[in-house]
Chains A and B, each alone.
Chain A
Amino acid sequence: MTIASLIDTPSELTDSASNKTAVVLMTRIRLARNLAGNPFPGWAKPAKRGEIFELCRDALTATLPMKRCLTIGIDELTDLEKQILVERHLISRELSGAKAGSGVVISRDQAFSVMINEEDHLRIQVLRSGFQLKKAWSTINELDSAIEDKIDYAFSPSLGYLTACPTNLGTGMRASAMMHLPALVIANQMEKVVRAVNQLGMAVRGLFGEGSDASGSIFQISNQTTLGESEDEIIKRLGSVLTSIIEHELNARQKLLEADSGKLFDKIGRAFGILQNSHVLSSGEAMNLLSLLRLGIDLRVFPEANRSIIDRLFIEAQPGHLQHAQKGEFEPGQRDLLRAARLRGEFANFPQPNFTFTTDGSN
């Protein structure tokens, strides 16, 4: 399997329409694991890193979920291919900048990916569309146990799984949800939400993790601490925080509709007009317009069946995917032309907005 075929294969993130929900785009869990008796990747000599890479790769490819997987060393990838994998959330920015001796194993449906020699020897990840924390935990728990059959993990009874950075000790687990919160952004409530969520020991980040902006009103919310609580407790606590954010977002949408539905529909209608007719679109602007269309779908301005198209375009409007589709590398200015052309094509046959049903603001 190659990167090109991976992009053309239906994936959990881009094609799983059945689980799409109004607010949560996807759920992710990652586990940090290390091999007992071996230096962590950042401290290991190149030869040792290579040895660890091979050992991990062989253990991983022998597990059931990784049957017919894609295994790649980071040095075998072009910059564009790395960018595509980052945009699909299959590898981190840190891994894309790593030296030889690092790599990734990706399951065929792209639901699982395991980074080797990132900050830890193994960063096991499961990705599920929609709000599926429990399901995500049970599937990643199984994969982790299958890997444990073949690898001796570094573990201490008191500190749990030992990780390169002490902030990941214990469960080594980071569970997160990618949330679409346009109404909280429009109503200027995001700052308050971020503060409250931080107080509860959860972190809020942009779409592509640390330091990325929140274009498209998409936020990643995850647990901040990993030690002193079991996986189930972390998931339960995160789950209740997420549920209350969903409630706040839905309330904010209701309030916007009640206070000034004309203004809200104007935003959605204009976004649709720009997507159908513009000739220059930066990826930030495209994200924000797509975000408004997704809100339109949630408010039944557009048919629900089109939600998965928007979620796919959130990914495909990113610079890496755009350049891959156009089979070349382009300057940012040219990309903005290509992006606009791509979206014009995509929205030419999109259903016309219907602003009549939505007076009840139901969702």
Chain B
Amino acid sequence: MPNPLKCDLCAKPATVHLTQIVNNKVHKVDLCEECAQAKGVTDPSGFSLADLLLKASLNPEPTGVAGVRCEQCGFTPNDFKKQGRFGCPACYETFTSLVEPMLDGMHKGTAHTGKVPRKALARKTLYERLSKLELDLTAAIKSERYEEAARCRDEINQVKQTYGQKSPR
């Protein structure tokens, strides 16, 4: 006899098997009687599969990121397991291997095709260029490459002018 399926939310044997087809993708959730009741699966108006899938996808131990901590905010995969929310925007890069498999069943696709905050991104690019030029300038002065230093200084002034009076955050 094959292994009985286990509930995606707890370890009990699953008796409720749910299959939903969203945009030609098959989503499957297996639940025990109690979890199915608690999640309102029996009441179709009150449950959303996306939420279930999110929690179910957390159940297998995340691989490769178990001991990792987000450098920006100190968040760990265990915190995510507890809360179902991340700590900060940088977590998405830190825990890529946790995020990627999760997205597959959760959304219509895995790549963003919508609105892009162009102004914010342009500011960021400019700011990054400025920081790099400032580093180059310091390095050039330190090693007495004055011609290069002068070029950096001119470029910094130029970037600052394009940016206007506002100082980047």
Contact = CB atoms under 8 A, between A and B. Distances in A.
A205 B48 CA distance: 9
Contacts of B89: 34, 36-38, 40, 154, 156, 162
Interface residues of A, number: 59
Interface residues of B, number: 47
Nearest to B79: A43
Contacts of B86: 40, 43, 164-166
Interface of B: 20-23, 44-46, 48-51, 54, 72-73, 75, 79, 83-90, 92-93, 99, 102-103, 106-117, 119-121, 123-124, 169
Given A145-B119, A200-B22, A158 B112 contact: yes
Contact of B113 (A194, A203, A205, A229): A229
30 contacts: A36-B89, A36-B120, A40-B87, A43-B75, A43-B87, A43-B88, A149-B119, A152-B123, A152-B124, A157-B116, A159-B92, A159-B112, A160-B112, A165-B85, A166-B103, A167-B50, A167-B51, A167-B54, A170-B107, A171-B114, A171-B115, A194-B45, A198-B20, A198-B49, A200-B22, A224-B48, A227-B106, A228-B110, A229-B109, A230-B115
B56 to A, nearest CB: 13
Interface of A: 34, 36-40, 42-43, 119, 141, 144-145, 148-149, 151-162, 164-167, 169-171, 173, 190-191, 194-195, 198-201, 203-206, 210-211, 214, 219, 224-231, 233
Contacts of B92: 156, 159, 162
A232 B127 CA distance: 31
B87 A169 contact: no
Contacts of A148: 117, 119-120
B101 to A, nearest CB: 11
Contacts of A39: 72-73, 87-88
A40 B88 contact: yes
Contacts of B103: 166, 169, 227
A198 B48 CA distance: 8
Contacts of B72: 37, 39
Contact of A43 (B23, B73, B114, B115): B73
Contacts of A155: 116-117, 120-121
Contacts of B120: 36, 148, 151-153, 155
A166 B96 CA distance: 12
5 A-B pairs with least C-beta separation = A228-B109, A160-B112, A154-B89, A227-B107, A228-B108
B123 A225 contact: no
Contacts of A165: 54, 84-86
Contacts of B108: 201, 225, 227-229
Contact of B106 (A36, A167, A171, A199): A167
Contacts of B88: 37-40, 43
Given A165-B54, A227-B110, A228-B113, 19 more contacts: A36-B89, A36-B124, A37-B88, A38-B89, A39-B88, A40-B88, A152-B123, A155-B117, A157-B112, A161-B117, A162-B92, A165-B84, A166-B102, A198-B44, A201-B108, A205-B46, A210-B46, A224-B50, A230-B115
B53 to A, nearest CB: 9
Contacts of A228: 107-113
Nearest to A228: B109
Nearest to B90: A37
Contact of A170 (B83, B114, B121): B114
A177 B44 CA distance: 18
A97 B70 CA distance: 28
Contact of A152 (B49, B54, B87, B169): B169
A224 B50 CA distance: 7
Contacts of A201: 22-23, 108
B45 to A, nearest CB: 5
A162 B94 CA distance: 13
Contacts of A214: 45
Contacts of A203: 48, 50
A173 B124 CA distance: 23
A168 to B, nearest CB: 10
B46 A211 contact: yes
B85 A153 contact: no
